Structure 1
């Protein structure tokens, strides 16, 4: 399992592209070769979003540097961190987002080591003679003096309907006086029913990750390769954005914000259910 995590970590941290990218808009800095091609790495996305590196990407800025988290520089950096070719994010939504992020009184930053962001990795596995897609959700956790990526959840098609509980009149149950019979009618749940999950609590949620790892340990699931990686961010108050990698000609390439949502009460939970395929 650690081998799989290591493969994913290497992939996420080492992806590099080679196209050019520059600031756009009135009075913006033009791409004159000083820009480091595109936002090549996820770590660089963090630095650009926070204005913690120079325009050419060659110098890291620290709190003692004059331009560290400079508001004007941040605005120019963030303006190039959107997918402007395919995402369809409106200019008004971008403006609202940037005005809140760049607030003079309460600016907001993203932090690599803080909770509120996680990776979504689409991978292929061999399962019972077929290649199946699995979606792994990974998060960072402290480990020793540093951090490590760990698998938090999984969505796997072949498991999706295994524990689908029936509803209404078709639902089986144990009579409330079963205790007077010494629960002998558990035979009904374990021998006479092919839906033993019917007899679990109403809020029962199967642990698909445990099932996935169990099948892997038995040799029934074998890793094949990685197909796609994306990231989900909830670190900016009342906002969600998705980070994807774009490898295409032109300036608008690299790791870019592909989806942006202004969150109302309850929206975060709805989005998480959708991401985790619990819709």
Structure 2
């Protein structure tokens, strides 16, 4: 029964999302759109219901969750996505899973348009909620990623080593390092030294070398559902299936989630 429900609802979502609608129809469909992430959470938690669902509908919980899924996920791999989505929904209902801002089991991935040394570039930041004091939270930056922030040279050039007898001349080689190019500095680091892109980001902002101009794409990663991680992105289009929607669902053991998170924000 649930598979038939998925097939019929997704067929409606896919057909309406591609249609060209009049301005009036577009405005009428705005009530179906998930306009804010808070609205997404409220629908996920069952506090709000999609406009097309009747209050007495026996499949209300399944339908409400289904309308939060990006229908385009099912276009290429319909059978496998129907299976994983059904298991995903079963886990949510069985565990009474709810989403809250302050539960600490989610993070934001934000792509930024930036300027570095007068050149346009893009930086990805990772942000998590942090408790300031009871009932007060803020977003904090916990990771950064960009080719520009990856300071390590492609290979170490041992021709740039500081010679072992340089201490006898007061390390006169040090002030000359910059003459070979600032990008060569990591050739002088210890063999086991690893660069930290987040530290590089903070340093470049602090010195004024990097400026953030505008946000581009935002993705939210959620870990609350037992056995799964899922992402939410904003899809701007006409139709019933638009706004902040579940865009990816991945099965993962709960014991592996922290490692997955650490690896994701540091690579």
Q: Same fold (TM over 0.5)?
A: yes
1:63-118 Cα offsets, whole Å, 9 max, x none, are: xxx99xx9953322111111112465610110011111111xx3222222111101
Paired residue total:
231
Q: Which runs of no fewer than 5 residues in structure 2 stay unpaired?
A: 14-27, 178-183
- Establish whether residue 152 from structure 1 lines up as the match of residue 142 from structure 2: yes
Q: 2: distance between equivalents of 1:197 and 1:116?
A: 40
Closer/same/farther in 2, CA of residues 41 and 194 from structure 1, 3 Å limit: closer
TM-score (norm 1): 0.67
1:5-39 Cα offsets, whole Å, 9 max, x none, are: xxxxxxxxxxxxxxxxxx97779xx99x7983211
Q: 2: distance between equivalents of 1:26 and 1:166?
A: 55
Bigger relative contact order, structure 1 or 2 (CA pairs below 8 A, ≥6 apart): 2
Match of 1:36 in 2: 31
Match of 2:91 in 1: 100
Given that residues 121 and 228 in structure 1 are in contact (C-alpha distance below 8 angstroms), is that contact kept between their aligned partners in structure 2?
yes
- Establish whether residue 218 from structure 1 lines up as the match of residue 231 from structure 2: no
Indicate the RMSD between aligned Cα atoms, in angstroms: 4.2
Match of 1:77 in 2: 64
Structure having the larger proportion of residues in helix:
2
Given that residues 163 and 197 in structure 1 are in contact (C-alpha distance below 8 angstroms), is that contact kept between their aligned partners in structure 2?
no
**Offset of 1:257 from its aligned partner?**
0.7
- Establish whether residue 269 from structure 1 lines up as the match of residue 264 from structure 2: no
Q: Which runs of no fewer than 5 residues in structure 1 stay unpaired?
A: 1-22, 58-65
Q: 2: distance between equivalents of 1:197 and 1:53?
A: 58
Match of 2:123 in 1: 134
**Offset of 1:119 from its aligned partner?**
0.5
Closer/same/farther in 2, CA of residues 130 and 153 from structure 1, 3 Å limit: same
1:203-225 Cα offsets, whole Å, 9 max, x none, are: x5423222222222222111211
TM-score (norm 2): 0.69
